[in-house]
Every structure is written in structure tokens, then in C-alpha cells.
Amino acid sequence: MCSAAFRTCVYVLQSFVWGGDQRGSCARCPGIGTVSFTRGAGVNAARRMGCGPKRFPWAESRRYDRGCVARRAAGLLCSGVLALAYGCIPSSISDSRSSIDSPPRLEEVDVVENLEAELPAELRFKDQEGREVRLGDLIQGKPTVLTLAYYSCPMLCGLVLSALADVVKETRGVRLGEDFNVVTVSFDPRDSAETAARRRKAAFEDMGRAENDHGWSFLHGNVLGAQTLADVVGYHFFFDEKQQEFAHPAALIFVDGSGRVKRYLYGLKFSPADFKLAVLETKAGNAKSTLDKVLLYCYRYDPEAGSYVLVAEQVMRLSGVLVLGCILLALAFFWRRERRRGGVGGLKGDVSR
């Protein structure tokens, strides 16, 4: 990069400082400046042009114009300075800036989806009231939305929990505490019942619900258990010693009533339609209504889009079945009406006889 910048700057300055044609040569010594930019090569070029003695052609030659020498020397000096300034220094500065600005270990922040992984139900934590609880008891055989966070997080965790509270409030057809539960687990050893209760209060205020409502538990107090849980669901984070903060992804993990991972949703804003379909997908088969089964038949989760999309082929099949059913019902109606008419006509004939 430095050599390329050096050649570019020399070529430009040759045109404006040295005078002559576009190649940077003067009237007496055409083309010397374009041969090479090293001292030895420049001397040989001058010798080939007959511009000076063997040892120091630039100043001692009578056939060489001293004004030309001054212009060429000034051009070379300026070119070198500019090449150093614009070609070499910025690259080193940009490299140092990139090394400073790029967060360390950023590649460790990720979610590796472990669908069908089973949560360790025997893990024990403390809830927002300081009571010891068992993870399996909080699932209670219902679809459960699992989030991992830390309650002193200055930004991302609050945004994720607020987005979750908003989508719970906006989603129709499934209710917190009745159709599904939410469990938030902290992986920060500094968290306590007080910080957990504070986060829970903010979440229930966002949902417009009373604090004594059930369905959403905020857990803490077992860092090793939280790490084990994160490893099972593929949730990777790390602690930045310099910033004294955790770097972590933003994800909702949907678990069925038996504790198996079924779906992941990502982002800082969640669609009520996607949230409802994810909850329905984690329901047990006998707990799904007919409408739930129809919705899940027509929609499939698209990993690339990160949301549920309508499957045209499934919709066409369902439409064909509905159309065929309507045709059969219409035929049955007309057949029954004609049969009644025929029966009435036959009775009238028998009476007249």
C-alpha cells in the first residue's frame, strides 16, 4: 500500500512541480523522472541521457540545467513526504483503530440452536422473592418461554424483556399463566432477589398487569446452573472485564411442557403472530384446538427469514379440501331436496288412485 501511494504521489507531483510533459520530464532531460524513483536507477538513467559524470550527475554536469535539478529534487522530497503521510501513516492508524474499536471475543456471542434439547429440570434457583425453586416445577407441563439475562444490564436485557412484555400484552388467543409461562434466568452472580423483583415489576408494568399475577418468574442465585442451562440451549455469552458487563445475544427460547426446546425467536421486537405460532407449536398435540392445527398447517418457521411464513402449497391443499367439501355438501343438499320432491309426488299419485 505504501509503495503504491508513493508512486502515485510522485507521478502527480512530477506533473505540477517539475514541469514539462505529462510524464513529468523537463525540456532538457525528458523522461528521467519516470524511469525509477531510487537513487541508483536515477543516476543510471541520467547517465544514459548524457546528463552528468559517473559519480554525481545531478550537480556536476555542465550539460544538465541546475534549475531542472532543483525542481526535481523538490518534487522528490515532497513526493516522499506526501507518500509517507497519505500512504503509510493512515494504514497504521486505521489498523490500530480497528484493533481498538473491534470488541474482543465478539465471535463468542452467539446462539447455536439445539432443537429438541431437554432442559435440566432438577436445576434449582431462587426467585424474585428469595424462595428456592426447581426449574421443572416452573414449566408445569405448559409451553414456556425461556430468556437468559442479567438484571443490572444497562441496555440489551432491558430492551429484550420490554419487547417480550409488549408482545405478551399484544398477542391474542394465548394468555400468560394460562396457556404458557415465562422464565427469566440470570447468569450474573451480582444479582439478588431485589434486582430480580425490580425487573419483574418493570415487566408487569409494561404488560399492564398486577405484580401479584403469576406466570413469569425471575430467577437468580445459581451461576453454575445458569451456565449449564445456557450450554444446553446453545446460548453463548462472556464477561468483559474491562467494561464490567456481559456480552450476550438477544433471543427467546420456546420450550414445550416436557422441557424440550422447540423454537428460537431473535431480535428486539417480536411479532404477535410469530409469538402466538411459536407458543402453539410447543403445545402438546391434544391441547391444540382445530383452529390451532389449521394455523400450524398453513404456517412454517423460516430460519432465513427468522419468522413464520405462509406456505402456499399447504394453503392450496387446504383450499382444495374446502372446495371439495363445499361441492359435496351442495350435491348432498340438492339430492336430498330432489328426493323429498319425488317422495311427495309419489304419495299424491297413490292418493288419486
Separation CA 341–CA 333 (nearest Å):
12
Residue 102 has pLDDT above 50, yes or no: no
- Contact between 136 and 122 under an 8 Å Cβ cutoff? The reply is yes
Q: Is the pLDDT of residue 60 over 50?
A: no
Average pLDDT of span 95-122: 74
**Better-predicted residue by pLDDT, 185 or 309:** 185
Average pLDDT value for residue range 322-332:
75
Q: β-pairing, 124-126 with 132-134? A: antiparallel
CA distances from 218 to 81, 194, 209, 221 (A): 63, 11, 16, 11
Where do the domains of the chain lie? 2-101, 108-310, 315-353
| % residues pLDDT > 70 (the chain) | 62
Confidence of residue 27 (pLDDT cuts 50, 70, 90): very low
15 versus 254: which is more confidently predicted? 254
pLDDT, tens digit (0-9, with 9 covering 90-100), for 255-277 = 999 999 999 999 999 999 999 99
Confidence tier at 59 by pLDDT (50, 70, 90): very low
pLDDT value of residue 161: 96
Cell of 91: 494504514
Binned at pLDDT 50, 70 and 90, residue 67 comes out as low
Q: Which residue, 196, 228, 201, 198, is CA-closest to 212?
A: 201
pLDDT digits (tens, 9 = 90+) for 200-210: 999 999 999 98
Model pTM greater than 0.75? no
What is the Cα–Cα distance from 241 to 306, expressed in whole angstroms?
Answer: 32
Query: In the predicted model, what is the mean pLDDT of residues 288-309?
Result: 77
Is the domain 108-310 a CATH 3.40.640.10 member?
no
Least confident among 40-49, 60-69, 162-171, 331-340:
40-49
Q: Cell triple for residue 204?
A: 408487569
Position 17 confidence tier, pLDDT thresholds 50, 70, 90: very low
Mean pLDDT of 84-111: 55
pLDDT at position 76: 53
pLDDT at 233 over 60: yes
Mean pLDDT of the 223-234 span = 97
Would you state the pLDDT for residue 75? Answer: 55
For residue 34, report the phi and psi dihedrals to the nearest 5 degrees: -95, 0
- Mean pLDDT computed over every residue of the chain: 75
Strand partners, 134: 124
Q: How confident is the model at residue 286 (pLDDT cuts 50, 70, 90)?
A: low
- On whether the CB atoms of residues 143 and 256 are closer than 8 A, the answer is yes
Determine how many CB atoms are found less than 10 A away from the CB of residue 208: 8
Q: How confident is the model at residue 149 (pLDDT cuts 50, 70, 90)?
A: very high
pLDDT for 89 beyond 60: no
Average pLDDT for residues 87-102, to the nearest whole number? 45
